[in-house]
Amino acid sequence: MAHLRPKHNTIPLLVIKALVHYFLFTFKTTIASYDDQTLNVIDFGAKAGGEIDSSRAFLDAWESACNTITPSTIYVPQGRFLIGKVVFKGSHEYCKSNGITIKIDGALVAPSNYDDIGNDGNWLLFDDVNGVSIIGGVLDGQGNGLWACKRFGNRNCPMGATNLGFTNSNNIVINGVTSVNSEMYHIVIDRSKNVKVQGVRVSASGNSPNTDGIHVQLSSFVTIIASNIATGDDCISIGPGSTNLWIQNIACGPGHGISVGSLGKELEEAGVENVTVKTVTFTGTENGVRIKSWGRPSNGFARNIIFQHLTMINVQNPIVIDQNYCPNEKDCPGQVNFQEHIN
Protein backbone atom coordinates (compact mmCIF):
# COMPACT_ATOMS: atom_id res chain seq x y z
CA MET A 1 0.00 0.00 0.00
CA ALA A 2 1.30 3.42 -0.94
CA HIS A 3 1.72 5.94 1.85
CA LEU A 4 1.08 9.61 1.21
CA ARG A 5 3.82 11.73 2.63
CA PRO A 6 3.02 15.32 3.66
CA LYS A 7 5.22 18.00 2.19
CA HIS A 8 7.78 19.39 4.59
CA ASN A 9 6.20 22.89 4.54
CA THR A 10 2.69 21.68 5.48
CA ILE A 11 1.46 22.85 8.93
CA PRO A 12 -1.03 20.48 10.61
CA LEU A 13 -4.54 21.91 11.00
CA LEU A 14 -4.49 21.49 14.81
CA VAL A 15 -1.35 23.61 15.05
CA ILE A 16 -2.97 26.34 12.95
CA LYS A 17 -6.02 26.33 15.21
CA ALA A 18 -3.82 26.53 18.31
CA LEU A 19 -1.86 29.47 16.88
CA VAL A 20 -5.04 31.32 15.94
CA HIS A 21 -6.46 30.72 19.43
CA TYR A 22 -3.23 31.96 21.02
CA PHE A 23 -3.07 35.18 19.00
CA LEU A 24 -6.76 35.89 19.54
CA PHE A 25 -6.37 35.35 23.30
CA THR A 26 -3.25 37.54 23.39
CA PHE A 27 -4.99 40.23 21.38
CA LYS A 28 -8.04 40.23 23.67
CA THR A 29 -5.86 40.25 26.78
CA THR A 30 -3.83 43.18 25.42
CA ILE A 31 -6.98 45.12 24.61
CA ALA A 32 -8.41 44.39 28.10
CA SER A 33 -5.22 45.58 29.79
CA TYR A 34 -5.46 48.86 27.91
CA ASP A 35 -9.15 49.17 28.72
CA ASP A 36 -8.69 48.72 32.47
CA GLN A 37 -8.03 51.97 34.28
CA THR A 38 -6.50 52.62 37.69
CA LEU A 39 -7.73 55.68 39.55
CA ASN A 40 -5.49 56.81 42.40
CA VAL A 41 -7.50 58.77 44.99
CA ILE A 42 -4.47 61.07 45.45
CA ASP A 43 -5.05 62.31 41.89
CA PHE A 44 -8.58 63.32 42.91
CA GLY A 45 -7.39 65.37 45.87
CA ALA A 46 -7.25 62.83 48.73
CA LYS A 47 -4.77 63.75 51.46
CA ALA A 48 -3.03 61.23 53.71
CA GLY A 49 -2.40 62.00 57.35
CA GLY A 50 -5.87 61.43 58.77
CA GLU A 51 -6.66 65.12 59.34
CA ILE A 52 -8.08 66.49 56.05
CA ASP A 53 -11.47 65.18 54.92
CA SER A 54 -11.01 63.24 51.69
CA SER A 55 -14.67 62.25 51.20
CA ARG A 56 -15.07 64.32 48.03
CA ALA A 57 -11.98 62.79 46.45
CA PHE A 58 -13.26 59.25 47.00
CA LEU A 59 -16.68 60.12 45.58
CA ASP A 60 -15.08 61.77 42.55
CA ALA A 61 -12.94 58.67 41.93
CA TRP A 62 -16.08 56.52 42.20
CA GLU A 63 -17.92 58.76 39.73
CA SER A 64 -15.04 58.50 37.28
CA ALA A 65 -15.04 54.71 37.55
CA CYS A 66 -18.80 54.65 37.07
CA ASN A 67 -18.63 56.74 33.91
CA THR A 68 -17.04 53.93 31.91
CA ILE A 69 -18.35 50.45 31.15
CA THR A 70 -14.85 48.94 31.30
CA PRO A 71 -13.46 47.56 34.59
CA SER A 72 -11.75 50.08 36.85
CA THR A 73 -9.61 49.98 39.98
CA ILE A 74 -9.81 52.72 42.58
CA TYR A 75 -6.46 52.67 44.36
CA VAL A 76 -5.88 53.88 47.91
CA PRO A 77 -2.13 54.06 48.65
CA GLN A 78 -0.49 53.75 52.04
CA GLY A 79 -1.45 56.35 54.63
CA ARG A 80 -4.47 57.26 56.73
CA PHE A 81 -7.32 58.95 54.88
CA LEU A 82 -10.05 60.72 56.85
CA ILE A 83 -13.52 60.16 55.37
CA GLY A 84 -16.94 61.21 56.58
CA LYS A 85 -20.18 59.42 55.81
CA VAL A 86 -20.20 58.48 52.08
CA VAL A 87 -22.65 56.57 49.88
CA PHE A 88 -21.32 54.91 46.73
CA LYS A 89 -24.37 54.63 44.50
CA GLY A 90 -24.79 52.11 41.73
CA SER A 91 -27.78 51.53 39.41
CA HIS A 92 -27.78 52.69 35.79
CA GLU A 93 -28.82 56.14 36.92
CA TYR A 94 -25.50 56.67 38.70
CA CYS A 95 -23.11 53.98 37.46
CA LYS A 96 -22.52 52.34 34.08
CA SER A 97 -19.81 49.97 35.27
CA ASN A 98 -20.37 46.42 36.51
CA GLY A 99 -16.76 45.87 37.54
CA ILE A 100 -15.15 48.22 40.05
CA THR A 101 -12.33 47.10 42.35
CA ILE A 102 -11.29 49.20 45.34
CA LYS A 103 -7.72 48.23 46.21
CA ILE A 104 -6.65 49.62 49.59
CA ASP A 105 -3.06 49.58 50.78
CA GLY A 106 -3.66 52.23 53.45
CA ALA A 107 -6.39 52.93 56.00
CA LEU A 108 -9.71 54.75 55.84
CA VAL A 109 -10.44 56.59 59.09
CA ALA A 110 -13.83 57.76 60.38
CA PRO A 111 -14.21 61.07 62.26
CA SER A 112 -13.19 60.79 65.91
CA ASN A 113 -16.26 62.79 67.02
CA TYR A 114 -19.08 60.23 67.04
CA ASP A 115 -21.69 62.95 66.48
CA ASP A 116 -20.36 63.40 62.93
CA ILE A 117 -21.66 60.04 61.66
CA GLY A 118 -23.26 58.41 64.70
CA ASN A 119 -26.83 59.19 63.61
CA ASP A 120 -26.33 58.20 59.96
CA GLY A 121 -26.51 54.42 60.40
CA ASN A 122 -23.59 53.81 58.02
CA TRP A 123 -20.13 55.19 57.51
CA LEU A 124 -19.15 53.58 54.15
CA LEU A 125 -22.24 52.42 52.26
CA PHE A 126 -22.54 50.81 48.81
CA ASP A 127 -26.10 50.99 47.51
CA ASP A 128 -27.46 49.14 44.47
CA VAL A 129 -24.04 48.21 43.08
CA ASN A 130 -23.05 45.23 40.95
CA GLY A 131 -19.63 43.60 40.61
CA VAL A 132 -17.80 45.58 43.29
CA SER A 133 -14.71 44.13 45.00
CA ILE A 134 -12.97 45.60 48.04
CA ILE A 135 -9.46 44.24 48.45
CA GLY A 136 -7.24 44.79 51.49
CA GLY A 137 -6.83 47.81 53.70
CA VAL A 138 -7.99 48.92 57.14
CA LEU A 139 -11.35 50.52 57.99
CA ASP A 140 -11.02 52.32 61.33
CA GLY A 141 -14.37 53.44 62.73
CA GLN A 142 -12.82 55.10 65.81
CA GLY A 143 -15.79 53.99 67.89
CA ASN A 144 -14.18 54.06 71.33
CA GLY A 145 -15.79 57.35 72.30
CA LEU A 146 -19.30 56.18 71.45
CA TRP A 147 -18.80 52.89 73.32
CA ALA A 148 -17.85 54.85 76.43
CA CYS A 149 -20.91 57.08 76.02
CA LYS A 150 -23.18 54.03 75.87
CA ARG A 151 -21.50 52.27 78.79
CA PHE A 152 -21.98 55.30 81.02
CA GLY A 153 -25.71 55.20 80.31
CA ASN A 154 -25.89 58.55 78.54
CA ARG A 155 -29.30 58.60 76.82
CA ASN A 156 -28.13 61.20 74.32
CA CYS A 157 -25.68 58.82 72.66
CA PRO A 158 -26.35 58.26 68.96
CA MET A 159 -27.03 54.71 67.75
CA GLY A 160 -23.75 54.50 65.89
CA ALA A 161 -22.63 53.81 62.32
CA THR A 162 -21.71 50.55 60.57
CA ASN A 163 -18.19 50.57 59.15
CA LEU A 164 -19.03 48.92 55.80
CA GLY A 165 -22.46 48.23 54.37
CA PHE A 166 -23.84 46.76 51.14
CA THR A 167 -27.52 47.05 50.34
CA ASN A 168 -29.52 46.00 47.24
CA SER A 169 -26.28 44.77 45.67
CA ASN A 170 -25.08 41.75 43.67
CA ASN A 171 -21.82 39.94 42.93
CA ILE A 172 -19.76 41.45 45.75
CA VAL A 173 -16.29 40.43 47.00
CA ILE A 174 -14.77 41.59 50.30
CA ASN A 175 -11.27 40.12 50.54
CA GLY A 176 -8.49 40.77 53.05
CA VAL A 177 -10.19 43.76 54.67
CA THR A 178 -9.49 44.65 58.32
CA SER A 179 -12.30 46.40 60.18
CA VAL A 180 -11.43 47.89 63.57
CA ASN A 181 -13.31 49.82 66.25
CA SER A 182 -16.60 50.25 64.42
CA GLU A 183 -19.15 52.40 66.25
CA MET A 184 -21.75 49.70 65.66
CA TYR A 185 -21.77 46.72 63.26
CA HIS A 186 -18.57 46.17 61.29
CA ILE A 187 -19.90 44.70 58.03
CA VAL A 188 -23.56 44.46 56.98
CA ILE A 189 -24.91 42.57 53.97
CA ASP A 190 -28.51 43.66 53.39
CA ARG A 191 -30.88 42.69 50.56
CA SER A 192 -27.98 41.44 48.46
CA LYS A 193 -27.08 38.33 46.45
CA ASN A 194 -23.88 36.47 45.58
CA VAL A 195 -21.52 37.91 48.19
CA LYS A 196 -18.13 36.44 49.11
CA VAL A 197 -16.35 37.54 52.28
CA GLN A 198 -12.87 36.05 52.64
CA GLY A 199 -9.81 36.66 54.77
CA VAL A 200 -11.49 39.39 56.79
CA ARG A 201 -10.24 40.47 60.20
CA VAL A 202 -12.57 42.21 62.66
CA SER A 203 -11.26 43.70 65.88
CA ALA A 204 -13.04 45.60 68.66
CA SER A 205 -12.99 45.57 72.45
CA GLY A 206 -14.76 42.68 74.15
CA ASN A 207 -17.01 45.18 75.96
CA SER A 208 -17.90 47.26 72.91
CA PRO A 209 -21.71 47.29 72.55
CA ASN A 210 -23.55 46.22 69.37
CA THR A 211 -20.39 45.74 67.37
CA ASP A 212 -21.41 42.58 65.46
CA GLY A 213 -18.62 41.44 63.18
CA ILE A 214 -20.65 40.49 60.10
CA HIS A 215 -24.43 40.81 59.92
CA VAL A 216 -26.48 39.28 57.08
CA GLN A 217 -30.16 39.92 56.47
CA LEU A 218 -32.61 39.55 53.56
CA SER A 219 -29.74 38.19 51.48
CA SER A 220 -28.94 34.96 49.64
CA PHE A 221 -25.89 33.02 48.49
CA VAL A 222 -23.49 34.63 50.95
CA THR A 223 -20.15 32.91 51.69
CA ILE A 224 -18.01 33.89 54.70
CA ILE A 225 -14.72 31.99 54.94
CA ALA A 226 -11.24 32.08 56.48
CA SER A 227 -11.86 35.07 58.73
CA ASN A 228 -10.90 36.12 62.27
CA ILE A 229 -13.52 38.00 64.29
CA ALA A 230 -13.00 39.44 67.77
CA THR A 231 -15.66 41.85 68.98
CA GLY A 232 -18.11 42.78 71.72
CA ASP A 233 -21.23 41.23 70.19
CA ASP A 234 -22.00 38.42 67.72
CA CYS A 235 -19.07 37.40 65.54
CA ILE A 236 -21.62 36.66 62.81
CA SER A 237 -25.34 37.40 63.11
CA ILE A 238 -27.91 36.04 60.67
CA GLY A 239 -31.15 38.00 60.45
CA PRO A 240 -34.55 37.32 58.87
CA GLY A 241 -34.67 36.60 55.15
CA SER A 242 -31.17 35.05 54.98
CA THR A 243 -30.97 31.97 52.73
CA ASN A 244 -28.20 29.80 51.33
CA LEU A 245 -25.34 30.91 53.59
CA TRP A 246 -22.02 29.09 53.86
CA ILE A 247 -19.77 29.97 56.84
CA GLN A 248 -16.48 28.08 57.24
CA ASN A 249 -13.01 28.33 58.81
CA ILE A 250 -13.80 31.13 61.25
CA ALA A 251 -11.98 32.08 64.44
CA CYS A 252 -14.49 33.73 66.79
CA GLY A 253 -13.70 35.37 70.11
CA PRO A 254 -14.21 37.34 72.16
CA GLY A 255 -17.86 38.02 71.43
CA HIS A 256 -21.29 36.43 71.68
CA GLY A 257 -20.67 33.66 69.14
CA ILE A 258 -22.56 32.99 65.90
CA SER A 259 -26.29 33.71 66.09
CA VAL A 260 -29.33 33.03 63.96
CA GLY A 261 -31.80 35.75 64.87
CA SER A 262 -33.34 37.20 66.69
CA LEU A 263 -36.32 35.94 64.68
CA GLY A 264 -40.08 36.33 65.01
CA LYS A 265 -40.18 39.89 66.24
CA GLU A 266 -42.78 40.72 63.58
CA LEU A 267 -45.93 38.77 62.67
CA GLU A 268 -45.04 38.93 58.97
CA GLU A 269 -41.39 38.03 58.67
CA ALA A 270 -39.12 36.27 56.16
CA GLY A 271 -37.54 33.03 57.38
CA VAL A 272 -33.97 31.75 57.54
CA GLU A 273 -33.00 28.54 55.74
CA ASN A 274 -30.14 26.58 54.21
CA VAL A 275 -27.38 27.82 56.51
CA THR A 276 -24.16 25.84 57.06
CA VAL A 277 -21.67 26.77 59.78
CA LYS A 278 -18.63 24.49 59.90
CA THR A 279 -15.04 24.38 61.12
CA VAL A 280 -15.28 27.26 63.56
CA THR A 281 -13.18 27.79 66.69
CA PHE A 282 -14.84 29.75 69.51
CA THR A 283 -12.45 31.08 72.14
CA GLY A 284 -13.63 32.89 75.28
CA THR A 285 -17.06 33.68 73.83
CA GLU A 286 -20.33 34.01 75.73
CA ASN A 287 -22.00 31.55 73.37
CA GLY A 288 -20.98 29.17 70.65
CA VAL A 289 -23.83 28.77 68.16
CA ARG A 290 -27.25 30.19 68.97
CA ILE A 291 -30.76 30.37 67.51
CA LYS A 292 -32.96 32.98 69.18
CA SER A 293 -36.59 33.91 68.56
CA TRP A 294 -39.20 36.05 70.27
CA GLY A 295 -42.01 34.27 72.10
CA ARG A 296 -44.80 35.76 70.00
CA PRO A 297 -46.81 34.65 66.95
CA SER A 298 -44.95 34.97 63.65
CA ASN A 299 -44.78 33.26 60.28
CA GLY A 300 -40.98 33.46 60.38
CA PHE A 301 -38.97 30.25 60.59
CA ALA A 302 -35.51 28.71 60.84
CA ARG A 303 -34.92 25.46 58.96
CA ASN A 304 -32.13 23.41 57.47
CA ILE A 305 -29.50 24.91 59.77
CA ILE A 306 -26.28 22.85 60.03
CA PHE A 307 -23.60 23.36 62.70
CA GLN A 308 -20.62 21.07 62.10
CA HIS A 309 -17.02 20.59 63.26
CA LEU A 310 -17.03 23.25 65.95
CA THR A 311 -14.33 23.72 68.60
CA MET A 312 -15.26 25.45 71.87
CA ILE A 313 -12.58 26.80 74.21
CA ASN A 314 -13.74 28.48 77.44
CA VAL A 315 -17.22 29.07 76.03
CA GLN A 316 -19.98 29.77 78.56
CA ASN A 317 -22.92 28.36 76.54
CA PRO A 318 -21.78 26.14 73.66
CA ILE A 319 -25.25 25.63 72.06
CA VAL A 320 -28.28 27.83 72.75
CA ILE A 321 -31.83 27.58 71.37
CA ASP A 322 -33.80 30.43 72.92
CA GLN A 323 -37.48 30.77 71.95
CA ASN A 324 -38.16 33.37 74.63
CA TYR A 325 -35.73 36.02 73.48
CA CYS A 326 -36.26 39.33 75.27
CA PRO A 327 -32.96 41.18 75.73
CA ASN A 328 -34.18 43.84 78.16
CA GLU A 329 -36.38 41.48 80.21
CA LYS A 330 -39.10 44.13 80.15
CA ASP A 331 -42.61 43.77 78.68
CA CYS A 332 -41.59 40.40 77.29
CA PRO A 333 -44.18 38.70 75.04
CA GLY A 334 -45.87 35.40 75.88
CA GLN A 335 -43.53 32.47 76.11
CA VAL A 336 -43.53 29.24 74.10
CA ASN A 337 -42.69 25.94 75.73
CA PHE A 338 -39.74 24.42 73.88
CA GLN A 339 -40.68 20.81 74.65
CA GLU A 340 -44.22 21.26 73.40
CA HIS A 341 -42.91 22.93 70.25
CA ILE A 342 -40.70 20.00 69.20
CA ASN A 343 -43.21 17.25 70.00
Give the pLDDT confidence score for residue 18 in this predicted structure.
Answer: 43
- The answer to whether the beta carbons of residues 103 and 143 sit under 8 Å apart is no
Give the pLDDT confidence score for residue 334 in this predicted structure.
Answer: 63
Give the pLDDT confidence score for residue 339 in this predicted structure.
Answer: 41
Give the pLDDT confidence score for residue 9 in this predicted structure.
Answer: 45
Domains of the chain: 40-322 (2.160.20.10)
Give the pLDDT confidence score for residue 35 in this predicted structure.
Answer: 54
- The answer to whether the beta carbons of residues 89 and 59 sit under 8 Å apart is no
325-338 CB burial, b ≥16 within 10 A, e <16: bbeeeeeeeeeeee
Question: Over its length of 343 residues, how does the chain's per-residue pLDDT go in tens digits?
Answer: 444 444 444 444 443 444 444 434 333 333 333 457 999 999 999 999 999 999 999 999 999 999 998 999 999 999 999 999 999 999 877 899 999 999 999 999 999 999 999 999 999 999 999 999 999 999 999 999 999 999 887 778 999 999 999 999 999 999 999 999 999 999 999 999 999 999 999 999 999 999 999 999 999 999 999 999 999 999 999 999 999 999 999 999 999 999 999 999 899 999 999 999 999 999 999 999 999 999 889 999 999 999 999 999 999 999 999 998 988 777 788 654 444 444 3
284 CB burial (10 A radius; 0-12, 13-18, 19+): middle
Give the pLDDT confidence score for residue 328 in this predicted structure.
Answer: 77
Catalytic residues: 256
Based on its alpha-carbon atoms, the radius of gyration of the chain, rounded to whole angstroms, reads 25
Distance CA 19, CA 82 (A): 51
Give the pLDDT confidence score for residue 243 in this predicted structure.
Answer: 98
